[in-house]
Amino acid sequence: MKRIKINRLLESDAAINKIIVKGWVRTKRDSKEFSFMELNDGSCLKNIQIIADSRLENYAEIASVTTGSAVSVEGKLIESPGKGQRWEIHADRVDVISVAPEDYPLQKKRHSDEFLRTIAHLRPRTNKYGAAFRIRSEMAFAIHKFYHEKGFRYLHTPIITGSDCEGAGEMFRVTTLNPLEIVAFDRLKVSKSELLPDSNAAKMDIKQDFFGQEANLTVSGQLSAEMFALALGDVYTFGPTFRAENSNTSRHVAEFWMVEPEMAFCDLAGNMDHAEELVKYLTLHAVTHCSEDIALFTDFVDKELKDLLDKIINETYERVSYYDAVDLLLKSGKKFEYKVVNGNDLQSEHERFLAEEYFKKPVFLMNYPKTIKPFYMRLNDDGRTVAAVDLLVPRIGELIGGSQREERLQMLEQRMEEMGLSKESYWWYLDSRRFGSVPHAGFGMGFERLLMLITGITNIRDVIPFPRTPGNIDF
């Protein structure tokens, strides 16, 4: 007989005579005649109560079971007389698979997020993190569902790349040079400190490296996605991206997942329409398909979560230009930790103020100064701004960053020159503007930021299974 998952059992509309469930014991209490176990198998938030009769032949062993232990239970699904649950299981047989020792770290009390991060291998066994990671799984599926329904093609963009999309100097170097190479370098009379794979040392003999040129982990699949949008029309990529930002904030990790749609024959307005549709679709999907897990976050993490999610689904998102937003911030009278400077990038406190306090809903900021944006964004007619767009949302700040792309070869080359980028190394990108160039646009949405929005979790480390941050690569 196959095991049945607890989420399926709890949906049953009739008693079942013979079932097998397997899972981990959350709590247990014993009376003279019975042992009552709360069993969880990770399939849903709820436990199912197992009632084991003292007449079972291995009752002594069953009675010794502790929190965290794994058991297999064969028995009957019976309507429960107890309050708060519809079903319970009367065990005909309980096999103890493995007993957790007394020092099992997840005893029945509330643990801090900080503590749970130190046991990232066990934290998904808690209610909160079980819920968070079930939602994560469901939302990844919803992204593919959305794009499949809209007829977008799913594109796998490379993880290892030779080009820097964002030009922000936040790349992780990929190299196969090893200490033996140091010997080779020694012959070139390079000092030891220069031999570490920083750019200077490696450039000296980059031809010996695996790819014969500098290689990095991708910070965005955008440039590759553009190539395919200009062939297949509408594409998206959804995968891990890497940034060596040395900032320890609650919104940045070094490895995160990004959804990046890229659409041919699309302008900035179309890009925003698409972003709004995506965020609404995903939020509605979460509310509909993860209601039990989201209820936990509403009860224990953020009482206003449900209201916020309703807003995300129902409101029309605001659209304002960067300069108007800066005006609003300057006139707001609000004391910020960082000063608002016209022409500079906004800080997340500024972004949050706009979405959370001023507009009280998601807001698109458009047309940023070209000086603070990457080379590929389309220059506006004013010559000083580009067709960039960020979507700011309450609690998080920036959820999405995107733009209409510069499709005019000359303009693009001019921007690259201005920014000191080598046209030679982007020859293939420039070719896409040479042969049948069309207006196109796209954006990137941080998947973890979306999960923070949907769960109310305030630290990005808590929505990714094994967070990578400066100085931390445990697990």
**Alpha carbon distance, N-terminus to C-terminus of the chain:** 35
Q: Which region, judged by CB under 6 A, interacts with ligand 4AD, from 26-34, 326-334, 415-423, 442-450?
A: 442-450
Does 261 contact Mg ion by CB under 5 A? no
Contact partner at residue 364 from Mg ion, ligand 4AD, none, CB < 5 to 8 Å by partner kind: none
Sign of the torsion angle spanned by Cα atoms 163, 166, 167, 168: negative
373 binds ligand 4AD, rule: CB under 6 A: no
With contacts defined by CB under 6 A, name the span among 210-218, 310-318, 351-359, 436-444 that binds ligand 4AD: 436-444
Tokens of 42: 């990770």
Q: Minimum CB separation from ligand 4AD for residue 258, in Å?
A: 5
Q: How far is the CB of 135 from ligand 4AD (least distance, A)?
A: 17
Q: Provide the minimum distance between the beta carbon of 371 and ligand 4AD in the complex, in angstroms, as a whole number.
A: 16
- Whichever of 47 and 271 has its CB closer to Mg ion, that residue is 271
Question: What are the start-end ranges of the H helices in 167-304?
Answer: 179-187, 192-195, 199-204, 222-232, 268-289, 291-300
Size of the site for ligand 4AD (CB under 6 A): 24
Residues 6+ apart with CB under 8 A from 103: none
Q: What whole-number distance in Å separates Cα of residue 96 and Cα of residue 72?
A: 6
Provide the CB-side half-sphere exposure for 269 (13 A, CA): 0
187 to 226: interface string for ligand 4AD, x by CB under 6 A = ---------------------------------x-x----
The arrangement of strands across the sheet holding 160-161 comes to 160-161, 215-217, 173-174
- Is 444 a binding residue for Mg ion by CB under 5 A? The answer is no
Query: Of 224-253, which residues contact ligand 4AD (CB under 6 A)?
Result: 243, 245, 252-253
Is 402 among the residues that bind ligand 4AD (CB under 6 A)? yes
CA-nearest of 191, 190, 223 to 205 is: 190
What gap in Å lies between CA 247 and CA 253, rounded to an integer? Answer: 9
Residue 416, phi-psi category: left (phi > 0), alpha (psi -120 to 50), beta (remainder)? alpha
Number of residues that bind Mg ion (CB under 5 A): 1
Give all strands of the β-sheet with 440-446 in edge-to-edge order.
153-154, 234-242, 255-264, 440-446, 397-404, 385-393, 363-369, 318-321
Q: Which stretch binds Mg ion (CB under 5 A): 47-55, 176-184, 394-402, 461-469?
A: 394-402
398 part of the interface to ligand 4AD, by CB under 6 A: yes
442 is an interface residue for Mg ion by CB under 5 A: no
Question: From the CB of 19, what's the least distance to ligand 4AD, in Å?
Answer: 42
> Which of Mg ion, ligand 4AD, none does 256 bind, CB closer than 5 to 8 A by kind?
ligand 4AD
| 125/378 with CB nearer ligand 4AD | 378
- 29 phi and psi angles, rounded to 5 deg: -140, 150
Nearer to ligand 4AD, 445 or 457 (CB): 445
Stretch that binds Mg ion, among 35-43, 229-237, 368-376, 401-409 (CB under 5 A): 401-409
State both tokens at 428: 């293939």
Taking the complex as a whole, the smallest distance from the CB of residue 256 to ligand 4AD amounts, in Å, to: 4
Residue 166 binds ligand 4AD, judged by CB under 6 A: yes
- Measured CA to CA, the distance from residue 283 to residue 142 in angstroms comes to 10
Q: Is residue 165 a contact residue for ligand 4AD (CB under 6 A)?
A: yes
DSSP string of 354-401, one letter each residue = IIIIISSS-EEEEEEEGGGS-TTBPBPTTSSEEEEEEEEETTTEEEEE
**Contacted entry of ligand 4AD, Mg ion, none for residue 243, CB cut-off 5 to 8 Å set by kind:** ligand 4AD
User: Candidates 92-100, 292-300, 400-408, 418-426 — which segment interacts with Mg ion by CB under 5 A?
Assistant: 400-408
**Burial of 291 per CB tally in 10 Å (0-12, 13-18, 19+):** exposed
Pairing state of beta strands 87-98 and 48-53?
A: parallel
How near is the Cβ of 72 to ligand 4AD at its closest, in Å?
Answer: 40
**Contact residues for ligand 4AD (CB under 6 A)?**
165-166, 220, 222, 243, 245, 252-253, 256, 258, 260, 398-402, 442-446, 448-449, 460
**Contact residues for Mg ion (CB under 5 A)?**
401
